[in-house]
């Protein structure tokens, strides 16, 4: 009888040890899966590229840069006002336009257009872009991202898609 007691105790200890390892592994998986899914989500699903109407052709003056607003194509149906985003649009001819992302390529802060200086300024870290979107000063690693622009049935549309912060 004395020989059986240590074997049962070892078995019970081994069993409890295995249960502890299994529970710890389950807790580790529950903690690790959300960050892994967050990191891998952009690989599997990128936002759809869509043409968004930003106004009538007559609403834009040649040579003038204005902020236009549209719904972000990657937002969820219940996002509400948080789905609203913007772009900088300049009319360069009768039916030609150039559009820039409103986000700085450094960290994504919104840039402002200063018409008197003909510069885009980023308030977060002092990034400066020329009117053609190229980097003038500061930490941005690349020019402002551009959107394709077209005129269809007297409406100006920009092709929106994935936000790119760096090249």
Residue with tokens 């450094």: 106
Tens of each residue's pLDDT in the chain, 167 residues: 455 555 555 688 888 888 999 999 999 988 988 888 777 766 555 666 788 889 999 899 999 999 998 877 666 666 677 777 889 999 999 889 999 988 888 888 899 999 999 999 998 888 999 999 999 998 988 899 899 999 999 999 998 876 555 54
Collapse the DSSP code of 64 into the 3-class scheme (helix H, G, I; strand E, B; otherwise coil) and give the result: coil
Per DSSP, the three-state class of 124 is coil
* pTM (predicted TM-score): 0.67
Q: What is the pLDDT of residue 34?
A: 82
**CATH of segment(s) 50-160:** 2.102.10.10
DSSP type of residue 145: P
| Domain boundaries along the sequence of the chain | 1-45, 50-160
């Amino acid at each position: 009888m004395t020989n059986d007691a240590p074997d049962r105790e070892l078995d019970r200890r081994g069993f409890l040890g295995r249960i502890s390892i299994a529970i710890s592994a389950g807790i580790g998986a529950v903690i690790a899966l959300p960050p892994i899914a967050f990191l891998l989500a952009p690989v599997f699903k990128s936002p759809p590229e869509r043409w968004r109407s930003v106004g009538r052709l007559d609403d834009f003056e040649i040579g003038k840069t204005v902020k236009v607003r549209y719904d972000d194509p990657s937002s969820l149906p219940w996002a509400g006002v948080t789905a609203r985003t913007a772009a900088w649009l300049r009319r360069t001819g009768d039916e030609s336009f150039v559009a820039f992302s409103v986000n700085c390529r450094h960290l994504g802060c919104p840039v402002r257009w200063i018409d008197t200086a003909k510069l885009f300024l980023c308030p977060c870290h002092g990034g400066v872009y020329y009117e053609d979107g190229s980097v003038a000063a500061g930490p941005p690693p690349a020019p402002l991202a551009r959107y394709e622009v077209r005129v269809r049935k007297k409406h100006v549309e920009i092709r929106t898609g994935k936000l790119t912060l760096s090249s």
